[in-house]
Amino acid sequence: MRGLGLILIVMTSFFFTGIVFRTKSLFAGRKGRGIFQPMKDIWRLFQKGSVYSQTSSFIFRIAPNIYFASIVIAIMLIPFGDQKGVFSFNCDFVFFAYILAVGKFLNIIGALDTGSSFEGMGASREALYSLLAEPAFFILMGSFALLTGYTSFADIFASIHFGSSISYAIGVLASFVLVIIAMIENSRMPVDDPKTHLELTMIHEVMILDNSGFDLGLIFYATNLKFAMYGAIIANLFLTPGKEWYYSVPIFIAVQTLFAIVVGTLESFMARFRMNHNPQFIFTLTSISLLIFLTVLLVAGKIL
Amino acid sequence: MSLVICILCITAFFVLLVGFLKEMWSANFALVAVLINAGISSYMAFNAVTGQSYQEIISGGSIFGDIPIRIDALSGWFILMMNFTVLTGILYGRRYMKLYENKSGAIQLHFIGFIINHFSMIGIFCVQNSLAFLYVWEVMALSSFILIIFEYKKPETLKAGINYLIQSHICILFITVGLIWVSSRTNSYDFNAIGQYSASVSPALSSLLFLIFFIGFAIKAGFVPFHTWLPYAHPVAPSHVSGVMSGVMIKLGIFGILRMLLLVNQNYLSIGYFILIVSLISGVYGVILAIVQHDLKKLLAYHSIENIGIIGMGIGLGAIGIGIQNPYLAFAGFAGALLHTLNHSLFKSLLFYGAGTIYQAIHTLNIDSMGGLIKKMPQTAILFLIAAMAISGLPPFNGFVSEFLIYQGFFEGIHLGSILLTTVLIISIVALVLIGGLALLCFTKAFGIIFLGQERKEFDHEVHEAETSKLLPGYLVVLFILIIGLFPQMFVKLLINPVRLFTGSLDVASPILMMTDSLQSISLVAWSFLLAIAGIAVIKLFVSQNRQTVVSPTWGCGYVAPNSRMQYTASSYVRTYRKLIGPLLLMNKREVAIEGVFSSPIHSETHPYDKVEATFIDVPLKFLYAILARVRFLQTGNVRHYILYGVLFIFIIVTFSLLNVAWVYLVDLLKQI
């Protein structure tokens, strides 16, 4: 059952953004749309025709394809509890990060392909911010490798168990880091506001100004998948190994839902940072993962 | 007749042929010479890599003594890598130099330099006699100097060339000191004497010996802070020369370091830490500066420093692995370093060929005046894109494979050793991640600004795609990039013999198995990735079959008269980054403040400069000038005075040796008393 994780992530992606929107609308005192509405929007986009910029070349047309494919492959690397992902090998999390970077590369040059003055802005920010967020993820995985002695997603998550209180601290900190990484990678609130309508202050949205139709649908759905993917990584921290599927599947769904609600809550109560404060904020993430690293050093008995 | 003599004769024959026949034939003769030399040496090298070392001793008379020619697996690996890049280099170069035919008298000299340079590089990889090694190294330095200053009429070319000449001789100085030190103590020029000597002296002395060699070879390789010649020499050289220089010539330094690591007996653990930290700084510093460059070739030159850093990280990791007797770390480190050496030679030469094609199409290398070239030069654009993604270490291309090997070593090592090792490794991981991220920023900038968008500058000539024969070497390189990226497990098998030289008695069978296993998975995932892309493309084609596709202007936020100057430029793309990293950079900015409500046009210029160069080269140079200024009166320009100096010099030498004899006599006398 290697594909169980994949199926669950795809299922979660259908309602994840719906829950985020619903949470936001409830906090704002509105009734809000149904939780499957974002998926319906995407379905409608898939059926539409496209408008291409006359400046753009074939790069612009293949970029969304590759971006989407990179996320699909990345999801296939995520394990589910002690069941391996579709692909599992040594240091697969390195491949995970790099395959996401491929998608980002194409996304960025796709934005530059339109020759727009706005899209370059978004591209520049996206490249910089994801670069700053990357070390945090690697330090986190390095800490896990140190803690468990394994170097692949599946082995690490299969052998993390929560015993002492200090390992709970690691779990909480790790979830925090992963949530923030997910927010940065998906261009959500404290860093980027997807609902803003000023091109100068957007990051991800401004990069896809010229995408339309099927391409835009792919990009939107990729965002949903990406959210569910990070949710799955977080859920993996809490899936106790050796448990039957009827425990782990509900835990998985619960963690994902909770994650979506947290995202919605964060977006309801936080304002976007000023652009020039973003790098500092993203870099604090690295210091938090360094904290995890020190804690793990403590647990592993390398210091003291 | 031995193969070595054979190569020597072929080289001499073709040098004469190029020198005395018509200029228009010289490129083809050079190609034939390179082909024959590459063929012979590759045959021996391939045998060496697959397990059969080659050894031959030629007599060098009373001066050199016996000259051992040894091609072991390490030399073999480097020779194979070097031959391929030199071959694509000459294939590209013969088209590139077409434009200069009958305009410059230096073409024949250039191709003679190219043949001799290739010959000397083969020599460096296999000659194992100290004195002969210094000779071939000097031949390499001089011939590459000639290659660099092809356009000697431009003052900046000559200046960069002389800079290169001086720095490469400082490099030779260090190597000479090391080699003479050993041979004066052992009375043998054979490289094996280095190993015997260093085993017989104290560890501190042996480390000092390694350090001298390391500095010498590091200048050639371009480790920070010895990198300052690179960003000058690469941009002024013709593109195929830059490609060969960056692809293989700086790897001579890496080869030297690896060779000395094999020969000099030392504490592998501490030397591993040392190399790892130097390389870490080189890697990060190189890419930090690469991003802010406006000159395409200078940007690529700084990336060479970054990649040398990555190779060095692999070497450091491998040395640490041997130090703590862990075969996995040792294998991952050395295999990663050697494979990255090959990978870098592939994508870097391809990038330089691309830069050359662009330069000959638009006659500028300033990134900010390019734009929209993908429509005029689609094939060059695709080649450049593949190389750019490969150098950023992205799958499914080759750069990822070697970085992945090094990553595996890092992560495996984290839970092995002491807290020191763990901390150093986690810092190295962060450095490698940052290098990857910064390279992505740099190459999205380079590719995006050069090829995409609209033209930023009007050219008064037509810009068109290069002819097929000029693109062909690029396609050859891409073929290898893809093979390594999609079937990495094959190359690990080739690496077993070179790496075994380093790991010695460690049992590397199980790491090889694990590496092959994970690389097989990488290959599988890479193929699935391509399959996924194709699948989505098919779905898209199927879905949008009956849908309307409209072409219209780029969204301009309601503004109806956008022009190409409103696009993002290379400088504005990296502006946020530049502000963030400001303290590490030295940006010479010339800007006039805006005055009044209706200001006149103002200009703003930025010239990135190297802080390390300003500190380690410029400041000492200033002092040197100050000291030398005091003895400037000696330089009168009068020939008679110079003859006087010569006579004085000979007189002093003779006096000294006489005094020396007198001194010995005196000491003997005193002893007798």
Task: Report the domain count for chain B.
Answer: 2
- Say what the pLDDT of residue B567 is: 87
CB contact under 8 A, A128 and B580: yes
Length of chain B: 673
CB contact under 8 A, A55 and B372: yes
Enter the ipTM. Answer: 0.95
CB contact under 8 A, B447 and A109: yes
Q: How many CB atoms lie within 10 A of CB B5?
A: 11
CB contact under 8 A, A114 and B408: no
The span from the CA of B568 to the CA of A105, in Å, is 17
CB contact under 8 A, B554 and A55: yes
Contact B322, B506 (CB under 8 A): yes
- Say what the pLDDT of residue B646 is: 94
Range of the domain at B515: 307-502+511-540
Residues B317 and B447 in one domain: yes
Mind listing the pLDDT tens digit for each residue in A185-194?
888 878 888 7
- Say what the pLDDT of residue B223 is: 93
What is the identity of the amino acid at B655? T
Residues B378 and B517 in one domain: yes
Sign of CA dihedral A46, A51, A57, A60: negative
Domain-located, residue B492 = yes
- Say what the pLDDT of residue B444 is: 95
**Average pLDDT for consecutive 10-residue bins of chain B (673 residues)?**
82 89 87 94 92 86 87 94 95 90 81 94 93 94 94 92 94 94 90 90 90 95 91 93 93 95 87 94 94 93 95 95 92 95 96 94 91 92 96 93 94 85 93 95 94 88 89 95 93 89 86 90 95 95 86 82 84 89 86 83 85 90 92 88 94 91 89 84
Residue A242 pLDDT > 70:
no
Q: How many CB atoms lie within 10 A of CB A120?
A: 28
* Chain B interface, best mutation among A46, A72, A91, A197, by max B CB count within 10 A: A91
Give the gap in angstroms from C-alpha A32 to the nearest C-alpha of chain B: 29
Contact B384, B469 (CB under 8 A): no
- For residue A265, the number of C-alpha atoms closer than 13 Å in the C-beta half-sphere is 7
- Say what the pLDDT of residue A164 is: 63
Domain-located, residue B126 = no
Residues B668 and B522 in one domain: no
- Say what the pLDDT of residue A304 is: 59
Domain-located, residue B323 = yes
Domain-located, residue B316 = yes
Domain-located, residue B356 = yes
Of A88 and B595, the one with more pLDDT: A88
Domain-located, residue B335 = yes
The span from the CA of B484 to the CA of B523, in Å, is 9
CB pairs under 8 A between A and B: 246
Domain-located, residue B121 = no
The span from the CA of B194 to the CA of B183, in Å, is 8
Sign of CA dihedral B661, B664, B668, B670: positive
Q: Tell me the two tokens of residue B125.
A: 């990889």
Give the gap in angstroms from C-alpha A300 to the nearest C-alpha of chain B: 9
**CA-nearest residue of chain A to B515?**
A90
The span from the CA of B355 to the CA of A222, in Å, is 35
Residues B337 and B443 in one domain: yes
The span from the CA of B556 to the CA of A208, in Å, is 13
CB contact under 8 A, A72 and B564: no
Give the gap in angstroms from C-alpha B580 to the nearest C-alpha of chain A: 8
Domain-located, residue B558 = no
Interface of A with B in 86-145 (CB under 8 A): 87-92, 94-95, 97-99, 101-102, 104-105, 108-109, 112-121, 123-125, 127-128, 130-132, 134-135, 138-139, 141-142, 145
The span from the CA of A19 to the CA of A261, in Å, is 7
C-alpha to C-alpha distances, A270 to A18, A198, B146, nearest whole angstrom: 19, 18, 63
Residue A291 touches partner B, C-beta closer than 8 Å: no
CB contact under 8 A, A105 and B394: yes
Residues B380 and B486 in one domain: yes
Average confidence (pLDDT) over A280-301: 87
Q: What is the mean pLDDT of chain A?
A: 88
CB contact under 8 A, A51 and B551: yes
3 state SS of B637: coil
C-alpha to C-alpha distances, A141 to B179, B313, B314, B497, nearest whole angstrom: 45, 20, 20, 32
